[in-house]
Amino acid sequence: MDTIVRLPKTKRKIFTGVVTSDKMDKTIVVSVAKRKVHRLYKKYVNESKKVKAHDENNEARTGDTVRVIESRPISKDKAWRLLEIVERAR
């Protein structure tokens, strides 16, 4: 049985993405993808962006699907925290 994770009721952004790098200490790089409709051509376009997230216990690995939440700036590039690991990589 899966454990139920209660998401905090804040106005902070929460993204779900795939870990692309875990080589830094206490930091992961998460690729967040979304699909949106092009204004002129009415065609779906895939967009993605990479965010650096703080992983206090170094528990996320490359390929894991994770959920990250917006936080105060932790370093120059890092303003997200790891909220939970949704699915482990195979």
Taking only the tens place, the pLDDT of each residue in 24-56 is 999 999 999 999 999 999 999 999 999 999 999
- What tokens does 70 get? 């917006």
pTM above 0.85, yes or no: no
Q: Is residue 9 part of a domain?
A: no
Residue 45 confidence (pLDDT) = 97
How far is it, in rounded angstroms, from Cα 63 to Cα 44? Answer: 25
- pLDDT above 70 for 1: no
Whole domain around residue 74: which residue ranges? 14-87
How far is it, in rounded angstroms, from Cα 65 to Cα 15? Answer: 11
Q: Is residue 3 part of a domain?
A: no
- Number of domains, the chain: 1
Q: Is residue 7 part of a domain?
A: no
H or E segment to which residue 1 belongs: none
CATH of the domain at 67: 2.40.50.140
Task: List pLDDT tens digits, range 50-86.
Answer: 999 999 999 999 999 999 999 999 999 999 999 999 9
Residue 4 confidence (pLDDT) = 60
| Lookup result for tokens 């200490």 | 25
